[in-house]
């Protein structure tokens, strides 16, 4: 076991790996050039969910009259909401700092780069850190696309959108992945006129077509204008007066707004690490690793967004565990991406695990699909929400290979599907698993029942 381990990056991949290594007796140095917690705590998962929760509260209050609850005029104090967001982030970052201290993890704030495979230099101080093993958890940064005007004033990244001091009266969102759609709904709930432009032919291009269709319809019903198949050609104008020119179905179009949000994903943050000095190979900016998170250089591991693939906090944490176990020689196991949950925190929420219907057909040929509408769920009716559940199984053994949910609290419910897939659960086993009533989780059971050829609450 390596006694000294250096970790570059203290996000949701780096700091959990540090904790696991520290608990097992390793001497760990955690190097972070920004705040502990990485993108997730500071500029991603947590602050965006604070804003989405505020948007959900506003939506609930505005629709309360359907239950006979009458409310007066509602006002959003954006400055107070921003303070609340920052307070939540600071409290969680402070929690990570205390955990580092309590577990005797040495933390260095600075910019790290390799001098040799076992020696790292801190740019700001010149300090050298030695490590018998090194974990690279350098994360990612917002991506941009080569559009004229993409870097002009008033064109924001997702990082910059989180530090606005006021709600823009109008905004154009370029990109309809989960980042773009979450921000679109946030700003719409806060009063902005929102237009979303997506190059491909569906929102959420990497998700099941049914999920994309239902979510697109729901957001458009809120007044968000969504155009798919839209190729953005040019962004012009200054802060407060932006113009976006795009092509749609062979015709030139344009839309004006106070600002533009570039939400086209994220890219690996590997520049400046000195990887060439230690023979760590990369491909299109991402660090190449094997199934045990080992790079091409012995003793150097890489995890999280820096290796590309699914850039999700929980994936980074899982990869960090694999790397730590490999270093500890603690029954090391390979990383398995078969059952990774993917969550979108819009209203309604969407959550998926495994293959889409199209992917399942491509991989398994004929597949079995069970659907259940949330409108047939008693709990969903109580909440006044809609959506659906969809279970996909390969035909021979009826083993579940994909689950897709749209509706309230599905980002919590998806964990049941993840466990089911990890245990190679069949539709029969899920259908005969007793679920409590009335709950939203019953929709998973009902979808599995549909594949088995019978239904309880659906026609």
As annotated, the active-site residues are 437
* Closest CA relative to residue 416, chosen from 408, 405, 406, 407: 405
- Are 111 and 124 spatial neighbours (Cβ–Cβ below 8 Å)? yes
What six digits make up the tokens of 362? 């491509």
The DSSP secondary structure of 216-252, one letter per residue, reads HHHHHHTT-EEEESEEEEEEEEETTEEEEEEEETTEE
C-alpha 41 chain-centroid distance: 12
d(CA 352, CA 350): 7
What six digits make up the tokens of 83? 């303070």
d(CA 315, CA 336): 10
Residue 9, C-beta contacts closer than 8 angstroms, at least 6 positions apart: 31, 32, 38, 136, 137, 138, 139, 304, 306
3-state secondary structure of 373: strand
SS3 content of the chain, % helix, strand, coil (to 5): 35, 25, 40
The Cβ-side half-sphere exposure at 373, using a 13 Å CA radius, reads 7
What six digits make up the tokens of 182? 């979450």
């Amino acid at each position: 076991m390596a006694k000294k381990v250096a970790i570059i990056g203290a996000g949701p991949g780096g700091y959990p790996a540090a904790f696991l290594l520290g608990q097992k007796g390793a001497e760990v140095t955690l190097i972070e050039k920004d705040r502990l917690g990485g993108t997730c705590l500071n500029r991603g998962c947590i602050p965006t969910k604070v804003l989405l929760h505020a948007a959900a509260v506003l939506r609930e209050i505005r629709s309360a009259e359907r239950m006979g609850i009458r409310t007066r005029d509602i006002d959003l104090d954006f400055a107070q909401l921003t303070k609340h967001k920052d307070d939540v982030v600071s409290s969680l970052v402070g929690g990570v700092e205390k955990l580092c201290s309590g577990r005797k993890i040495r933390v260095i704030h600075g910019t790290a780069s390799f001098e040799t495979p076992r020696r790292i230099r801190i740019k700001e101080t010149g300090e050298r850190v030695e490590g018998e093993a090194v974990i690279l958890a350098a994360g990612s940064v917002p991506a941009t696309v080569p559009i004229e005007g993409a870097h002009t004033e008033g064109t924001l990244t997702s990082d910059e959108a989180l530090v606005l001091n006021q709600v823009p009266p109008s905004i154009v969102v370029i990109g309809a992945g989960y980042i773009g759609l979450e921000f679109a709904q946030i700003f719409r709930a806060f009063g902005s006129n929102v237009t979303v432009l997506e190059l491909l032919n569906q929102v959420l291009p990497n998700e099941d077509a049914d999920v994309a269709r239902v979510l697109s319809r729901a957001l458009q019903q809120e007044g968000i204008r969504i155009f798919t198949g839209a190729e953005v050609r040019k962004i012009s104008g200054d802060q407060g007066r932006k113009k976006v020119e795009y092509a749609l179905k062979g015709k030139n179009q344009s839309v004006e707004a106070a600002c533009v949000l570039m939400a086209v994903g994220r890219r690996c943050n590997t520049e400046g690490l000195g990887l060439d000095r230690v023979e760590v190979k990369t491909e299109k900016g991402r660090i190449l690793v094997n199934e045990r998170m080992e790079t091409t250089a012995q003793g150097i591991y890489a995890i999280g967004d820096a290796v590309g693939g699914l850039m999700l906090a929980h994936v980074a944490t899982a990869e960090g565990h694999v790397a730590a176990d490999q270093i500890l020689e603690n029954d090391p196991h390979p990383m398995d991406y078969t059952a990774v949950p993917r969550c979108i925190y819009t209203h309604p929420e969407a959550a998926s695990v495994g293959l889409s219907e199209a992917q399942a057909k491509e991989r398994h040929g004929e597949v079995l699909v069970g659907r259940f509408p949330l409108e047939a769920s008693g709990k969903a009716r109580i909440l006044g929400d809609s959506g659906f559940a969809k279970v996909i199984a390969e035909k021979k053994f009826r083993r579940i290979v994909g689950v897709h949910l749209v509706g309230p609290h599905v980002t919590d419910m998806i964990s049941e599907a993840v466990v089911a897939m990890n245990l190679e659960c069949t539709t029969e086993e899920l259908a005969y698993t007793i679920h409590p009533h009335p709950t939203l989780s019953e929709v998973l059971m009902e979808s599995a029942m549909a594949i088995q050829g019978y239904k309880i609450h659906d026609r």
